[in-house]
Structure 1
Amino acid sequence: MNNVKPQQELDLLVSVIDRHPEGVSAEELLQESGLTLQPRSLQRRLAVLAEQGRIRLQGKTRAMRYFPVLQVEGPIGKAAEVIAPSGGAEIEPYVPFSAEGEAIKAYARRPRHLRKPVVYRTEFLEQYHPNHTAYLPLKLREQLHALGRSPAEQTPAGTFARDILNRLLIDLSWASSQLEGNTYSRLDTARLIEFGQAAEGKDAFETQMILNHKQAIEFLVHSPEQAVVSQDTIVALHALLSDGLMPDPAMCGRIRRRAVEVGGSVYLPVALPQRLEALFGIVVGMAAEIEDPFEQAFFLMVHLPYLQPFEDVNKRVSRLAANIPFIRHNLCPLSFIDVPQQAYVDAMIGVYELNQVDLLQDVFVWAYERSCQQYVAVQQSLVPPDILRLRYRQVLGEVIAAIVRSGQPVNEASVKTMLPGSVQPEDREHFTQLVLTELAGLHAGNAVRFGLRPLDLLGWKK
């Protein structure tokens, strides 16, 4: 690769990154591209690509990962933006945002000492009336419903989430933890979840955070009766997500008893325990009344962090709680994959300090579109098994073998003369079509499934 020209190197790097929608590290990128570049040379080329808008960056220093640029179409209608932070030294990915979201972002980027301290406003909650007012406009919700529809929409609650559980465990555990500053890569997360192999150089806190997410997701997916919006479920999610991470272990799964502050914000949450417990009940009760799954999910993402009912881990609880309606309605889950940490932080500051949800709505919609893109291939591969074929599996093989060995032609009349009495009258038409389909595709490589030898097949075909 030493003779590759600089422009060809850039194009090659982009093509490799385009194959990794989940992101790729510099080490993985160098290995897959086959380029013989020094780390500094590679970083310079990647910086050029980011400046040109051909790739996106996420993370810092050694945890930096590189993503393809997404041209997202949908309710927002703008491509993901790449912006430079106030320091100008590092390029940072963002999400498409509305004019209202842009104003919130500008406010959130103001120095903390220039923002006026605020307290919890009950008016923000009182202004909301489940199923009468909505943060997400009806047209937007209709678009999200169409986007998130799964092949399992007519099956029992939780079916689709169970079908894609292995992928969901990795994606959601990694992405949600990354929003908290966790430096595990997606590959490290997959190894930890699938093989119990902790990543080298990571502290126990980060490893515990990933494993807690796994346990909490399994709690929701494996127990549909528990995947409901209720106080017990929200508290249970906190207990699972905060296990081993709280300064006081007794506060896992318990409403806080002391005042807390929100890092990076001038917002001061409710301090009085009795008032906090009452408000927690009201917030969860209102959420439970919301009928639309997308509005319910977004309401939880807004009001659980705003209330801060627990000493810590509130945003993580809200992100998993937001998936409850998607699990129950067999919709595509919200994995938060590729959501830039700064965009999410800015959006939450807008909620905390301004009681404005526009930027969080921008993040939510983009994140859901991105999640659906991730799972589209998974959805297409989930072809439900033919139940009748499973029921008559042995009989099917016997009929096919009998037709071949007796030299019968491939037509409905031949098949119907061979039908045994064990095939129910209402199933005979479907069973006949199954036999004809199998006979049409029968060859020496797959005939062994029916106990047939190549000579049997050869004689039948002659």
Structure 2
Amino acid sequence: MDFSKYTLMKQKLDAYRPLPKEVVHNLHENLILNWTYHSNAIEGNTLTLKETKVALEGITVGGKTLREHFEAINHKEAILYIETLVNENTPINAWVIKSLHQLILKQIDDDNAGRYRQVNVQIVGATHVPPEYIHLDELMSSLISDYASWHNMHPIEKAARLHSEFVKIYPFVDGNGRTSRLLMNLVLMQHGYPPAVLPVSKRLEYYNALDDAHVNQHYAPFLQLIADIVEEAFASYWFALGINHQ
């Protein structure tokens, strides 16, 4: 896949840095809300976009479960944690991955938060069967080691590959999807790309592309899907900056 178009987009955005503070603040607020809403909605959270905004402001939404509120609040905390990792140039390792997951399941399932699963699982609706739990330490160590060796891979492909391979291993009982999308954006942000939000409207396409990658080693549809949402992420910057990008 040719990623040159996205490299040019990054170069164009870099030419406008440092961005105006007002633009940064507005984009940041919108990012947290949209990323949290869509990532949770993909996993079945029923909070609407507006309800998610209210929940993130600390207000309880009537008729919604405590878990759904925690999912919103926790996800925002996980995004802020990722931003800290980027600012401190922290490499991705097992501690980072488990810390991210611990934030996602905090006050929801504290027994399993930040811990690799101790049971074998099947993913509902997927053809791929994740590996047995006894292999998780070895598989995750290999993934982290492999990721560190992907020096010549384009950042978008690195982000997509890490996302896909992480979900293939499915190291946690719950919260794998949210954690994988956070990791994907951590990679993008570490390489100077804007974080990309996978919309809930693409959920079926997303699941099918992942399953195709895992079962048939056919990665092209998933790579294209991630590249498309990265392009959408750039579009938010062009709009905020008043730039006509062709």
Q: 2:95 aligns with which of 215, 219, 232?
A: 232
Bigger radius of gyration? 1
SS in structure 1 at match of 2:111? helix
Q: What amino acid sits opposite 2:9 in the alignment? A: L
Q: 2:64 aligns with which of 202, 217, 236?
A: 202
Q: 1:345 to 1:215 in 2, by over 3 A?
A: same
Q: Indicate yes or no: 2:130 matched with 1:269.
A: yes
> Which structure dedicates a bigger proportion of its chain to helix?
2
Aligned counterparts, 1:236-275, within 5 A: 236-246=99-109, 249-273=110-134, 275=135
Aligned counterparts, 1:20-419, within 5 A: 137=1, 139=2, 141-149=3-11, 150-151=13-14, 164-193=27-56, 195-223=57-85, 224-225=87-88, 227-246=90-109, 249-273=110-134, 275-291=135-151, 292-337=154-199, 339-380=201-242
Asked whether the 8 Å contact 2:32–2:76 carries over to 1, the reply is: yes
Asked whether the 8 Å contact 1:227–1:327 carries over to 2, the reply is: no
SS in structure 2 at match of 1:190? helix
Q: What amino acid sits opposite 2:143 in the alignment? A: V
Q: Provide the C-alpha distance between the structure 1 equivalents of 2:123 and 2:129, rounded to a whole number of angstroms.
A: 7
Q: 1:312 to 1:203 in 2, by over 3 A?
A: same
Q: Provide the C-alpha distance between the structure 2 equivalents of 1:179 and 1:327, rounded to a whole number of angstroms.
A: 22
Asked whether the 8 Å contact 2:156–2:227 carries over to 1, the reply is: no
Q: What amino acid sits opposite 1:258 in the alignment? A: V
Tell me the CA shift for residue 283 of structure 1: 0.5
Q: Hey, what does 1:111 align to over in structure 2?
A: none
Asked whether the 8 Å contact 2:128–2:215 carries over to 1, the reply is: yes
Asked whether the 8 Å contact 1:162–1:222 carries over to 2, the reply is: no
- Structure 2 gaps of 5+ residues are none
Q: What amino acid sits opposite 1:284 in the alignment? A: I
Q: What amino acid sits opposite 1:244 in the alignment? A: Q
Q: 1:333 to 1:339 in 2, by over 3 A?
A: farther
Q: 1:308 to 1:270 in 2, by over 3 A?
A: same
Q: 1:153 to 1:315 in 2, by over 3 A?
A: farther
- Structure 1 gaps of 5+ residues are 1-136, 382-462
Q: 1:243 to 1:228 in 2, by over 3 A?
A: same
Q: Provide the C-alpha distance between the structure 2 equivalents of 1:239 and 1:330, rounded to a whole number of angstroms.
A: 26
Q: What amino acid sits opposite 1:337 in the alignment? A: P
Q: Provide the C-alpha distance between the structure 1 equivalents of 2:77 and 2:171, rounded to a whole number of angstroms.
A: 21
Q: 1:307 to 1:190 in 2, by over 3 A?
A: same
Asked whether the 8 Å contact 1:161–1:333 carries over to 2, the reply is: no
Q: After the TM superposition, which parts of structure 1 deviate over 6 Å for at least 4 consecutive aligned residues?
A: 152-155, 160-163
Asked whether the 8 Å contact 1:220–1:226 carries over to 2, the reply is: no
Tell me the CA shift for residue 333 of structure 1: 1.2
Q: Provide the C-alpha distance between the structure 1 equivalents of 2:200 and 2:74, rounded to a whole number of angstroms.
A: 20
Q: Provide the C-alpha distance between the structure 2 equivalents of 1:162 and 1:290, rounded to a whole number of angstroms.
A: 33
Q: CA RMSD in A?
A: 2.5
Tell me the CA shift for residue 272 of structure 1: 4.2
Tell me the CA shift for residue 344 of structure 1: 1.3
Q: Provide the C-alpha distance between the structure 1 equivalents of 2:145 and 2:31, rounded to a whole number of angstroms.
A: 27
- Between the two proteins, what is the percent identity of the paired residues? 21
SS in structure 2 at match of 1:323? helix
Q: Provide the C-alpha distance between the structure 2 equivalents of 1:338 and 1:373, rounded to a whole number of angstroms.
A: 18
Asked whether the 8 Å contact 2:42–2:200 carries over to 1, the reply is: no
Q: Which has the higher contact order (CA 8 A, sep 6+)?
A: 2
Q: Provide the C-alpha distance between the structure 2 equivalents of 1:189 and 1:369, rounded to a whole number of angstroms.
A: 25
Q: Provide the C-alpha distance between the structure 1 equivalents of 2:133 and 2:73, rounded to a whole number of angstroms.
A: 32
Q: How many residue pairs end up in the alignment?
A: 235
